[in-house]
Amino acid sequence: DTAVSQTPKYLVTQMGNDKSIKCEQNLGHDTMYWYKQDSKKFLKIMFSYNNKELIINETVPNRFSPKSPDKAHLNLHINSLELGDSAVYFCASSQGVPGNNQPQHFGDGTRLSIL
Amino acid sequence: QQPVQSPQAVILREGEDAVINCSSSKALYSVHWYRQKHGEAPVFLMILLKGGEQKGHEKISASFNEKKQQSSLYLTASQLSYSGTYFCGIYNRGNQFYFGTGTSLTVIP
């Protein structure tokens, strides 16, 4: 029944490691997003994919690489983790293309803590 | 590009009303509103399109003034369940989505 699901829910790891976060949606949506929410609660878009193609790539370090094997999945791989990467990462999806004013549906978030 | 919301935080007693404002430095084509409860994901409330129309969700309504490049969210007769952080969101011309700075709302008995 879960519409947008992310795994893992919690991720605790050391600086310098590489980690991945997975996201899947069963809503049949065409667009998926990754957001980062920092400790001040600011929600910042990182990536947006429409039908497996990158639409938006905000200025994020190239240590972050999204991969979309199909339109229902959007994974986020992070290399050489840094302390500043500690945050909650949210996956979201929406119908159609970005800008068409469809609501976004969010996953429960992945809480990443870097030691 | 990020819209600015005011106030940053507000505390209400049950039954009181509140207004949350969202202002953009760029032209607005639509405004989205979301609510995020503590430890949870943001949840969509409503979308407002150009034309100044008001939309409603429970006792929460919103207006959109594209000339002033701002939107306001009105919470009437607040309930404990309204507590959370409210975000506006906008698309720019390049179809990039930006959430606002957020407004923390706490409703106390």
Q: Which residues of B touch A105 (CB under 8 A)?
A: 44
Summarised one tens digit per residue, pLDDT across range A51-110 is 778 877 778 899 999 999 998 999 999 999 999 999 999 999 999 887 778 899 999 999
Size of interface A-B (CB pairs under 8 A): 57
Least CA distance to A90: which residue of chain B? B41
Asked whether the beta carbons of residue B97 and residue A108 sit closer than 8 angstroms, the reply is no
Q: What is the 3-state secondary structure (H, E, C) of chain A?
A: CCCEEEECCEEEECCCCCEEEEEEECCCCCEEEEEEECCCCCEEEEEEEECCEEEEECCCCCCEEEEEEECCEEEEEECCCCHHHCEEEEEEEECCCCCCCCCCEECCCEEEEEC
pLDDT tens series, chain B, 109 aa: 789 999 999 999 999 999 999 999 887 788 999 999 999 999 999 988 876 566 666 788 998 888 888 999 999 999 999 999 999 998 877 677 889 999 999 999 9
Q: Which residues of B touch A44 (CB under 8 A)?
A: 99
Residues of B with CB under 8 A from a CB of A: 2, 30, 32, 34, 36, 40-44, 47, 49, 85, 87, 91, 94-99, 101-102, 104
Asked whether the beta carbons of residue B43 and residue A106 sit closer than 8 angstroms, the reply is yes
Least CA distance to A99: which residue of chain B? B95
Residue closest to B108 by CA, chosen among B8, B4, B10, B7: B10
Summarised one tens digit per residue, pLDDT across range B42-67 is 999 998 887 656 666 678 899 888 88
